[in-house]
Amino acid sequence: MKTGKVFLVGAGPGDVRLITVKGLEAIKQAEVILYDRLANPKLLEFAPSDCELIYCGKLPDRHILRQENINDLLAEKALEGKVVVRLKGGDPGVFGRVGEEAAALAHYQVPFEIVPGISSGIAAPLYAGIPVTHREHAESFAVVTAHDKSAEGKPKLDWEGLVRGVDTIAFYMGVGNLPYICENLIAHGKSSSTPVILIQWGTFGRQKTLQGTLQDISVKVTEAKFSNPAIILVGNVISLREKISWFEKMPLYGRQILLARTGESASGLAKELMEQGADVIEFPKWKKTKLPVELGNVKDYDKILFSSPESVNEFFEAVIGKGMDIRKIRADFFGGSSKSINALKERGFIARLIEDMPQAGSLLVVGDNDKNIIENADYLITSEKELDRKFLPIFQRMLEEADVNTMVFPNAAAVGTFTEGLKACNINAFELLKNVQVVCMGQQTKNAVERAGLTADGMPESATREALVEYLIKNPVVGER
């Protein structure tokens, strides 16, 4: 059997768009991915649908897989002839133990490549408005582990060298040892008034910062109950933050949005929300199987509603395959979302949203096997959709680490599929959405939410991305800035 190959990939610091091109290419060809807690799980959606996903997350008090087991598993999967990706948060060479993994692969004579990533020690400060070097404030920069493998976990560092020779110091995952760090820096000559900032979940929309000095930061951290994952940055360059902070000024910064998803791929709506500074979790993840399509009396309907952009393509593939003259279809076309409208537009058809669809006339809904979109309609099933169950535990972990404050239903079809997905996760929709702002894209969607027994807090003026962003800006959640 031919030996496979392992890619040891840096996933970047959190923002899914910060992965390298080469890292993303590795994920797209992977047959097995072993991923860490700090690698953004959204990256896994770029993997092939049949890719095996193995969680290797580590917390201070427990390890899902120990490092020795990870080393052996990488070699084992590659020796089966598979393309394996080891996906690690930040850069694999910066406290990522990539040296141990690479040495184990070399021992087993398994081919491998190391793909660098953006380190959180540089990226998190930049997202907080702090360059780690500056000609007037900092000519040197160091990344330092804030704990070691000793019983006490306190790092044995050249404190004097750090104080004398380094202007900006980034300590990784050191919240628990913060008093020890501050005491040693002051004891070895660092001024007690030196600025310190902690950056939690850097580059995510949930990013939080806490600023102080070596003298008072430990007390502030205790009072704020600040925790890892966080970068501790020490140095006078932090003073630049007041002038060049940018990420926290984005319109949707602080929004942690749960977006109901009906299609297989990531939505353009999610991308737009992220570009405005929000954290977005799309749920659930679906996989589809195309079905043979019998068009029947499709020419006789007054209205045809396409439930998804995929359904548009599946419908016209069937029309072309059957040799039907599209001009004989007299129906007006409608889309369940703006994505469906755009898919029809690409094929030369002007369509309107479901919100603008008149009540009168016969209706055919084209889409997958979800028949909860609209009552009193006929359905043309073009594909069978089912939950991608391997993503359910991933979603549960994402929810545990997030603090969702906004729920967005983009269309009526999303309501049933969302609640179905939650049931598979043993999550109660009412409990999950308690104290969460629920936003609906259009009246039909609002009606579907209320039929499901959920409370809708409002909706934008129109079912467009722009209108949604404007609505969220004008209607902040409790606790937002």
**Interatomic CA distance for residues 173 and 156, integer angstroms:** 15
Closest CA to 260 of 452, 78, 117: 452
Interacting residues of 42 by C-beta distance below 8 A, sequence separation 6+: 16, 266, 282
Q: Give the active site residue among 173, 398, 407, 441.
A: 173
Q: Give the active site residue among 15, 36, 279, 368.
A: 36
Reply yes or no on whether 36 is catalytic.
Answer: yes
**Interatomic CA distance for residues 202 and 149, integer angstroms:** 25
**Interatomic CA distance for residues 314 and 368, integer angstroms:** 10
Reply yes or no on whether 274 is catalytic.
Answer: no
Interacting residues of 238 by C-beta distance below 8 A, sequence separation 6+: 130, 195, 196, 197, 211
Reply yes or no on whether 457 is catalytic.
Answer: no
Q: Give the active site residue among 58, 82, 154, 220.
A: 58
Structure token digits, residue 405:
């404050």
Per the DSSP assignment, residues forming a β-bridge with 167 are: none
CA angle (208, 209, 210) in 5-degree steps: 135
Interacting residues of 306 by C-beta distance below 8 A, sequence separation 6+: 312, 315, 333, 334, 335, 336, 340, 343, 344, 351, 366, 367
Structure token digits, residue 138:
């900092």
Tell me the Ramachandran region of residue 109: left when phi exceeds 0, alpha when psi lies from -120 to 50, beta otherwise.
Answer: left
Active site residues: 36, 58, 173
